[in-house]
């Protein structure tokens, strides 16, 4: 499934870009992310916990920065994570674009998400709602982190 999300962060573009390219720091702003560490240049390993009511996902995997273009203010990332207990996982391609926005920077995230196995059978529609909730909290955490 593909979807696009946008939020406005009240920081200028350069500062937001520099922050977002530090993957462990920006990953810690995503609610449910734990323990992100570099594997090698451009690749990071970590875990993400997501809860939908009684259903708890514990995703473990890697995120790789495939492309960063500071001139065009665009980056592409690839994420792969599995939940070994449930026997499912996600494969995502993320496109990040930064544009000047009213009182800050407009961050746009284009996601191409494949949900595999049990998680996918459960409720694709719910995933989108969850992604929106995660992004909203991510934006709040980002603002807090950048206000420091």
Partner 1 sequence: MNDFDYRSPRSLDEALAILGEYGEDARVVAGGTALVTMMRQRLVQPRCLVSLRDVQGLGRIEANGGLRLGALVTHRDAEVSPLVQERIPVLAETFRRVATVRIRHMATIGGALAHGDPNQDPPVTLLALGATVNIRSARAAREVPLTEFFRDYYETALEPGELVTAVTVPAPPARSGAAFLKFLPRTADDYATVAAAAIVTLERDGVRCREARIALGSVGVTPLRATSAEALLGGQPLGESLLQAAGEAAKTAVDPLTDHRGSAAYKREMTAVMVGRVLGQAWEAARRSAQARP
Q: How far is the CB of 81 from partner 1 (least distance, A)?
A: 17
Nearer to partner 1, 15 or 84 (CB): 84
Q: Which residue's entry shows tokens 């009240």?
A: 10
First to last CA, the chain: 36
Name the nearest CA neighbour of 86 among 45, 116, 47, 125: 116
Residues 79-98 that bind partner 1 (CB under 8 A): 85-87
User: CB of 43 within 8 A of CB of 121?
Assistant: no
Q: 104-117 and 88-101 as β-strands: parallel, antiparallel, unpaired?
A: antiparallel
**Interface mask (CB under 8 A) for partner 1, residues 19-58, using x and -?**
---------------------------------xxxxx--
Q: Which of 78, 108, 118, 140 binds partner 1 (CB under 8 A)?
A: 118
CA distance 32 to 38: 18
Nearer to partner 1, 15 or 56 (CB): 56
User: CB of 128 within 8 A of CB of 3?
Assistant: yes
The residue count for binding partner 1 (CB under 8 A) is 17
By CB under 8 A, residue 2 contacts partner 1:
no
CA distance 31 to 51: 11
Q: Which of 49, 108, 128, 140 binds partner 1 (CB under 8 A)?
A: 128
Binding site for partner 1 (CB under 8 A): 52-56, 85-87, 118, 121-126, 128-129
């Amino acid at each position: 499934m593909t979807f696009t999300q946008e939020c406005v962060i009240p920081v200028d573009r350069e500062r937001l870009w520099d922050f977002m390219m530090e993957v462990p720091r920006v990953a810690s702003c995503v609610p449910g992310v734990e323990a992100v560490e570099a594997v090698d240049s451009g690749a990071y390993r970590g875990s993400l916990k997501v809860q939908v009511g009684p259903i708890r996902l514990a995703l473990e995997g890697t995120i790789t920065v495939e492309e960063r273009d500071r001139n065009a203010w665009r980056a592409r990332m690839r994420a792969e994570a599995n939940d070994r207990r449930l026997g499912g996982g996600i494969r995502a391609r993320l496109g990040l674009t930064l544009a000047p926005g009213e009182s800050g920077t407009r961050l746009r995230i284009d996601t191409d998400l494949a949900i595999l196995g049990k998680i996918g059978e459960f409720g694709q529609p719910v995933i989108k709602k969850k992604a929106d909730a995660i992004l909203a909290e991510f934006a709040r955490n980002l603002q807090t982190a950048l206000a420091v």
